[in-house]
Amino acid sequence: MAQSTADVVAANDVVTDLVSDWSAEKEVFKVHWGKAMMWIFLLSDTFIFTSFLTGYMKVRISSTVPWPNSSEIFALSFGGDPIPLILIAIMTFVLITSSGTMALAVNYGYRKDRMKAAVLLLITAGFGLMFVGMQAFEWTKLIVDEGVRPWGNPFGAAQFGASFFMITGFHGLHVSGGVIYLTYVAVGVLNGRYEKKGYDIIEIAGLYWHFVDLVWVFIFAFFYLW
Amino acid sequence: MAHVALADKEQELAHPKTWIGMYVWSQDHKIIGIQYIITATAVGVIALILSGLMRLQLGYPGVFDFIQPDEYYQAVTMHGMIMIVFMLTAFFLGGFGNVLVPLMCGARDMAFPYMNMLSYWVYLLSVIVVCASFFVPEGPTGAGWTLYPPQAITEGTAGADWGIICMTVSLGLFVVAFTMGGLNYVTTAFQARTRGMTLMRMPLSVWGIIMATILGLLAFPALLVSVIMMTLDKTLETSFFMPAISSLGENLSHEGGSPILFQHLFWFFGHPEVYIVALPAFGIVSDLISTHARKNIFGYRMMVWAIVAIGGLSFIVWAHHMYVSGMNPYFGFFFATTTLIIAVPTAIKVYNWVLTLWRGNIHLTVPMLFAIGFIFTFIHGGITGLFLGNVVVDVPLSDTYFVVGHFHMVMGVSPFLVVFGGIYHWFPLLTGRMLNDTMGKIHFWVTFLGTYAIYLPMHYIGILGVPRRYYANGTTEFLPDSVQSANVSITIAALVVAAAQFLFLINIFWSIFKGRKSARNPWRATTLEWQTADYPPKHGNWGKELPVVYRWAYSYSVPGAKEDFIPQTETPSRYTKGEGDV
Give the per-residue pLDDT at A143. Answer: 94
Residue B223 belongs to a domain:
yes
Residue B114 belongs to a domain:
yes
* Interchain contact, A166 vs B228, CB within 8 Å: yes
- B388, B274 contact by CB (below 8 A): no
Give the per-residue pLDDT at B576. Answer: 47
- DSSP states of B236-286 as a string? T---SS--S-EETTEE-S--S--HHHHHHHHHHHHHHHHHHHHHHHHHHHH
Alpha helices in B293-365, H assignment, sequence order: 300-313, 329-341, 343-357
The DSSP code for B478 is S
Number of domains in chain A: 2
* Interchain contact, B225 vs A27, CB within 8 Å: no
According to DSSP, the residues that pair with B400 across neighbouring strands are B467
Residue A83, phi then psi, degrees to nearest 5: -100, 120
Residues A23 and A90 in one domain: no
Give the per-residue pLDDT at B544. Answer: 86
Give the per-residue pLDDT at B351. Answer: 97
Cα–Cα distance measured from residue A136 to residue A130, given in angstroms and rounded to the nearest whole number:
10
Cα–Cα distance measured from residue B60 to residue B491, given in angstroms and rounded to the nearest whole number:
9
* Interchain contact, B6 vs A23, CB within 8 Å: no
Cα–Cα distance measured from residue A8 to residue B266, given in angstroms and rounded to the nearest whole number:
47
Percent helix, strand, coil in chain B, to 5, is 65, 0, 35
* Interchain contact, A158 vs B255, CB within 8 Å: yes
Model confidence over A142-189: pLDDT tens digits? 999 999 999 989 999 999 999 999 999 999 999 999 999 999 999 999
Residues A99 and A159 in one domain: yes
The verdict on A196 touching B (C-beta cutoff 8 Å) is no
Q: Which domain holds residue B323?
A: 25-243+256-574
Residue A12 has pLDDT above 80, yes or no: no
Q: 3-state DSSP call for residue B468? A: coil
Cα–Cα distance measured from residue A223 to residue A88, given in angstroms and rounded to the nearest whole number:
11
Residue A149, phi then psi, degrees to nearest 5: -130, 160
Q: Which residues contact B191 (CB under 8 A, 6 or more apart)?
A: A26, A27, A28, A29, A33, A36, B5, B6, B111
Angle at which helix A33-62 crosses helix A200-219, to 10 degrees, equals 10
Cα–Cα distance measured from residue B4 to residue B74, given in angstroms and rounded to the nearest whole number:
53
The DSSP code for B152 is G
Sort out which chain B residues have CB atoms less than 8 A from A36's CB and list them.
187, 190-191
Sort out which chain A residues have CB atoms less than 8 A from B5's CB and list them.
26-27
Residues A208 and A156 in one domain: yes
- DSSP states of B302-319 as a string? HHHHHHHHHHHHGGG-GG
Cα–Cα distance measured from residue B159 to residue B139, given in angstroms and rounded to the nearest whole number:
5
Q: Which residue of B has its CA nearest to A163?
A: B240
Give the per-residue pLDDT at A226. Answer: 84
According to DSSP, the residues that pair with B433 across neighbouring strands are B517
Residues A10 and A40 in one domain: no
Sort out which chain A residues have CB atoms less than 8 A from B199's CB and list them.
22-24, 28
A13-22 as b/e, with b when 16 or more CB fall inside 10 Å? Answer: eeeeeeeeee
Q: How far is CA B6 from CA B186, B189, B376, in A?
A: 14, 11, 41
* Interchain contact, A26 vs B179, CB within 8 Å: no
Q: Check which CATH number belongs to the domain holding A116 and give it.
A: 1.20.120.80
Q: Which residue of B has its CA nearest to A53?
A: B225
Angle at which helix B343-357 crosses helix B329-341, to 10 degrees, equals 20
Residues A11 and A72 in one domain: no
Neighbouring C-alpha atoms within 13 Å toward the C-beta of A84: 6
Q: Check which CATH number belongs to the domain holding B58 and give it.
A: 1.20.210.10
* Interchain contact, B1 vs A58, CB within 8 Å: no
Number of domains in chain B: 1
Give the per-residue pLDDT at B2. Answer: 65
Sort out which chain A residues have CB atoms less than 8 A from B192's CB and list them.
26-27, 33
Q: How far is CA B470 from CA B245, B399, B458, in A?
A: 24, 10, 14
List the one residue out of B17, B453, B498, B240 whose CA is nearest residue A158: B240
The verdict on A48 touching B (C-beta cutoff 8 Å) is yes
Sequential pLDDT tens for chain B (582 residues): 567 888 888 777 878 888 888 888 999 999 999 999 999 999 999 999 999 999 999 999 989 988 999 999 999 999 999 999 999 999 999 999 999 999 999 999 999 999 999 999 999 999 999 999 999 999 999 999 999 999 999 988 999 999 999 999 999 999 999 999 999 999 999 999 999 999 999 999 999 999 999 999 999 999 999 999 999 999 999 999 999 998 888 888 888 899 999 999 999 999 999 999 999 999 999 999 999 999 999 999 999 999 999 999 999 999 999 999 988 888 899 999 999 999 999 999 999 999 999 999 999 999 999 999 999 999 999 999 999 999 999 999 999 999 999 999 999 999 999 999 999 999 999 999 999 999 999 999 999 999 999 999 999 999 999 999 999 888 888 899 899 999 999 999 999 999 999 999 999 999 999 999 999 999 999 999 999 989 899 988 998 889 999 999 999 999 888 889 999 998 876 554 444 444
Q: Which domain holds residue A12?
A: 1-28
According to DSSP, the residues that pair with A76 across neighbouring strands are A83
Q: Which residues contact B97 (CB under 8 A, 6 or more apart)?
A: B33, B181, B185, B209, B213, B280
According to DSSP, the residues that pair with A83 across neighbouring strands are A76
- B209, B529 contact by CB (below 8 A): no
Q: How far is CA A78 from CA A75, A84, A94, in A?
A: 10, 11, 19
Q: How far does B437 lie from chain A, in Å, by closest CA?
A: 38
Residues A98 and A176 in one domain: yes
List the one residue out of B561, B29, B530 whose CA is nearest residue B287: B530
Q: Which residues contact A145 (CB under 8 A, 6 or more apart)?
A: none
pLDDT category of residue A3 using cuts at 50, 70 and 90: low
Q: How far is CA A66 from CA A153, A200, A221, B256, in A?
A: 12, 49, 19, 11
Sort out which chain A residues have CB atoms less than 8 A from B193's CB and list them.
25-27
Cα dihedral sign for B298, B300, B302, B308?
A: positive
Cα–Cα distance measured from residue A20 to residue A31, given in angstroms and rounded to the nearest whole number:
15
Q: How far is CA B279 from CA B90, B206, B317, in A?
A: 14, 10, 16
- B135, B128 contact by CB (below 8 A): no
Chain A interface, best mutation among B233, B240, B241, B304, by max A CB count within 10 A = B240
The verdict on A45 touching B (C-beta cutoff 8 Å) is yes
* Interchain contact, B221 vs A51, CB within 8 Å: yes
Cα–Cα distance measured from residue B322 to residue B398, given in angstroms and rounded to the nearest whole number:
10
Alpha helices in B436-481, H assignment, sequence order: 437-464
The verdict on A198 touching B (C-beta cutoff 8 Å) is yes
Percent of chain A scoring above 70 in pLDDT: 93
Residues A83 and A100 in one domain: yes
**B194 against A64, higher pLDDT:** B194
C-alpha triplet B160, B164, B169: angle, nearest 5°: 155
Residue B556, phi then psi, degrees to nearest 5: -105, 145
Q: 3-state DSSP call for residue B83? A: helix
Residue A106 has pLDDT above 90, yes or no: yes
Give the per-residue pLDDT at B477. Answer: 87
Q: How far does B53 lie from chain A, in Å, by closest CA?
A: 37
Residue B380, phi then psi, degrees to nearest 5: -60, -50
Q: Which residues contact A215 (CB under 8 A, 6 or more apart)?
A: A49, A171, A174
- DSSP states of A40-83 as a string? HHHHHHHHHHHHHHHHHHHHHHH-SSPPP-HHHHT-B-SSSSPB
Cα–Cα distance measured from residue B367 to residue B390, given in angstroms and rounded to the nearest whole number:
35
Q: 3-state DSSP call for residue B467? A: strand
Residues A167 and A221 in one domain: yes
Position B371: which residue type? A
- B314, B342 contact by CB (below 8 A): yes
The verdict on A200 touching B (C-beta cutoff 8 Å) is yes
Residue B467 belongs to a domain:
yes
Sort out which chain A residues have CB atoms less than 8 A from B258's CB and list them.
58-59, 62
- B322, B267 contact by CB (below 8 A): yes
* Interchain contact, B221 vs A45, CB within 8 Å: yes
A224 CA to centre of own chain: 16
Model confidence over A41-54: pLDDT tens digits? 999 999 999 999 99
Residues A176 and A106 in one domain: yes
Residue B16 belongs to a domain:
no
pLDDT category of residue A4 using cuts at 50, 70 and 90: low
Among candidates B255, B265, B549 on the partner chain, residue whose Cβ is nearest the Cβ of A55: B265
- A202, A185 contact by CB (below 8 A): yes
Model confidence over A191-200: pLDDT tens digits? 999 988 889 9
Cα–Cα distance measured from residue A109 to residue A23, given in angstroms and rounded to the nearest whole number:
32
Residue B509 belongs to a domain:
yes
Q: How far does B405 lie from chain A, in Å, by closest CA?
A: 32
A43-52 as b/e, with b when 16 or more CB fall inside 10 Å? Answer: ebbbbbbebb
Residues A19 and A50 in one domain: no
Residue B251 belongs to a domain:
no
Strand-pair category, B250-251 with B246-247: antiparallel
